[in-house]
Amino acid sequence: MPNLPSPDEKRKVLHDPSTSADTLNRLADDFRAADRLGETLEMLAVTRDEKRLRALRELAISRGEVFVLTQTERFLGDEASAKDWMAAGEKALSEERFRQAEAAFLRAGDEEKAAGAAEKIPAAPKSRPEKAVEAD
């Protein structure tokens, strides 16, 4: 596993105007190798390296990562295909990530599949007022 910067070091490197695109792209590669896709996105949001963003998009589709897929669309300036959104939705559904599956199916234009995924979203737990702390 690559030697990744601490959160403070990452923030400094990311926001330092003298940090080169090559450095940020290398960090993006390192974060991706460590399966830290959010931080990969942070680096690529600055560099907008098309090749890396397209590779990240493919990874997001294969893993059903709706947020990452949406962000790569934004950074690349083009939308993923309905087929890609369906694939992302199927992966999310297979992993019981029903909210992500619903969102992906809606983006694919398949309202029926989206509704099916939405039906599987567990209800929120009921509040337990007996556990609430009384205010003075």
Which long-range CB contacts under 8 A does 118-123 form with residues at least 24 apart? Answer: 120/96, 122/98
Give the integer Cα–Cα distance in Å for 73 and 86.
15
Q: Do 62 and 109 sit in the same domain of this protein?
A: yes
pLDDT of residue 126: 82
- Provide the residue range defining the domain that includes 110: 57-121
- Which residue would you say has higher pLDDT here, 77 or 127? 77
pLDDT of residue 92: 98
Matching residue, tokens 């999310």? 92
Q: Is the pLDDT confidence value at 112 over 90?
A: yes
Burial of 116 (0-12, 13-18, 19+ CB in 10 A): middle
Q: Do 63 and 115 sit in the same domain of this protein?
A: yes
Q: Do 14 and 64 sit in the same domain of this protein?
A: no
Domain count, the chain: 2
Residue 99 lies in a domain: yes
CA torsion 85-86-90-95 (nearest 10°) is 10
Contact between 34 and 4 under an 8 Å Cβ cutoff? The reply is yes
pLDDT of residue 131: 64
Q: Do 38 and 68 sit in the same domain of this protein?
A: no
Report the pLDDT averaged over residues 42-49.
Answer: 96
Task: Return the SS3 of 114.
Answer: helix
pTM beyond 0.75, yes or no: yes
- For the chain, give the mean pLDDT: 93
Contact between 60 and 69 under an 8 Å Cβ cutoff? The reply is yes
Q: Is the pLDDT confidence value at 61 over 70?
A: yes
**Domain C-terminal end among 10, 28, 47:** 47
